[in-house]
Amino acid sequence: MSSYIIEGSRTLSGDVTPAGNKNEALPVLAACLLTSEVVHLKRVPKIQDVLTLCEIIKDMGGRVEWTSDDCLSIEAKNIKHTSPREDLCTKIRAAILLMGPLLGRFGRVKLAPPGGDVIGARRIDTHFEGLTALGASLEWHHIIEGKVPKARGAEIVLDEPSVTATENILMMAVLCEGKTVIHNAASEPHVVGLCEMLISMGAKIQGVGTNRIDIEGVASLHGTTHQIGPDFMEVGSYLCLGAIGGGRVRINDIKVSDLRFALKTWERIGIKPEVGENWLEIDGSSPLKIANDISGRIGTIYSGPWPAFPTDLMSVTITAATQATGTMIFFEKMFEGRMFFTDKLINMGANIVLCDPHRIVVTGSSQLYSSKMSSPDVRAGMAMIMAACIAKGTSVIDNIYQVERGYFNVEKKLMQLGAAIKRVD
């Protein structure tokens, strides 16, 4: 098991550039299975989840080649089977994204239940309902098995705006005969990125970026070149770190439009960066102050589907809030395990009350002290790294595999900002 050793209380300043969006990279990798022609991908984050999905595609017979540090060439011309290796699938949640393209192009799939973060129940009913509506026959015992007697377009109403379910249905529907309409579709930037790639491959999609997506099926798709957008989860993580780091941190090469609601939310705990056309800069030497509601009551920050505040930014925002003067309630509506990492922050000196699996109360500002911790999931791991960077003393964070599944070059980027961090295998 690998660990980070972090000496805290260092001033953090400098420039950082986010990698490509992990949550876009994974579905576009899966979408490469929809064509026999070569697909070129740019700004691909070389993180563990991406490497695992590449290994799955290669095991099925696809050709995967890194042409540079962040560029991939993928050809799925000679796929030998549609039963991805169980040991690889159980490592990542993104394995579920193979269902749509394999059913859409090959008409069959045999898939182990996906793995991923331990942040609560992550149902796949919406995937089954949508793909079944398109003509798939699916069963789930120990293994998910599916075939398509006859693919057909359909009108589908999702029972939740699930990102991965929307993506799976999209990837099957683009090759179905007839028209498909997805109501209550997810509209996150990474869903938009997948749609843009599919359109460049010859798919006919309308309503991109809205909660109604119309797809007119085509007979086949061709190769393309697609650039993945910047990871706004990484942008948010380094912005929150910069806000409590004591120096000035500038984040370059970003899409500000991906952060509009998040920026509005962060203002409530005093994080107010300078915003440029494609950059943000935060002064971490300015004290943070939490704003109450207009009535004077304690405010609440909620997570929710796009364009609401993303659940994946909850953990890092909570760490930042421990350094802000005042009290704020955080209500995580989506995952009942997301908040459990806060016991690590409490052990470090944070003033946090865990009300129930979904709600906590944070009162700051609190001096944090070093601790030995283990990362339970990608986002909690980054939040713990943030806490260690500002804590007094030297902290050890184990199970950093979880962090490196979602963040590229964490150690290098933190060192560039002045953090004293060392990776130990």
113-131 pLDDT per residue, tens:
876 444 444 578 999 999 9
Q: Does domain 3-19+230-424 have CATH number 3.40.50.12780?
A: no
Query: What percentage of residues in the chain have a pLDDT greater than 90?
Result: 89
Q: Degrees (nearest 5) of the Cα angle 376, 381, 385?
A: 145
334-360 pLDDT per residue, tens:
877 889 999 999 999 999 999 999 999
Q: Does domain 22-227 have CATH number 2.40.50.140?
A: no
The pLDDT value given to residue 405: 87
116-171 pLDDT per residue, tens:
444 444 578 999 999 999 999 999 888 899 999 999 999 999 999 999 999 999 99
Here the contacts of 355-359 (C-beta below 8 Å, separation 24 or greater) are 357/120, 358/331, 358/332, 358/333, 359/329, 359/330, 359/331, 359/332
pTM metric for this prediction: 0.93
Per-residue pLDDT at 377 exceeds 80? yes
217-246 pLDDT per residue, tens:
999 999 999 999 999 999 999 999 999 999
Helix ranges, 327-390 (H): 342-347, 378-390
The pLDDT value given to residue 115: 62
**Segment 178-204 mean pLDDT:** 98
Domain ranges of the chain: 3-19+230-424, 22-227
Give yes or no on whether 3-19+230-424 and 22-227 have one common fold: yes
Terminal Cα distance for the chain, rounded: 6
* Average pLDDT over all residues of the chain: 95
Q: Which residues contact 188 (CB under 8 A, 6 or more apart)?
A: 23, 163, 305, 306, 310
The pLDDT value given to residue 76: 97
The pLDDT value given to residue 113: 80
At 168, is the secondary structure helix, strand, or coil? Answer: helix
Least confident of 8-12, 313-317, 335-339, 343-347: 335-339
At 101, is the secondary structure helix, strand, or coil? Answer: helix
185 vs 172, 207, 225, 297, CA distance in Å? 15, 10, 25, 35
Per-residue pLDDT at 416 exceeds 60? yes
**Segment 34-60 mean pLDDT:** 96
Backbone angles phi, psi at 195, to 5 degrees: -60, -45
Q: Which residue has the higher pLDDT, 394 or 333?
A: 394
Q: State the CB neighbour count (10 A cutoff) for residue 336.
A: 14
Q: Which residues contact 294 (CB under 8 A, 6 or more apart)?
A: none
Per-residue pLDDT at 9 exceeds 90? yes
Which residues have a catalytic role annotated?
117
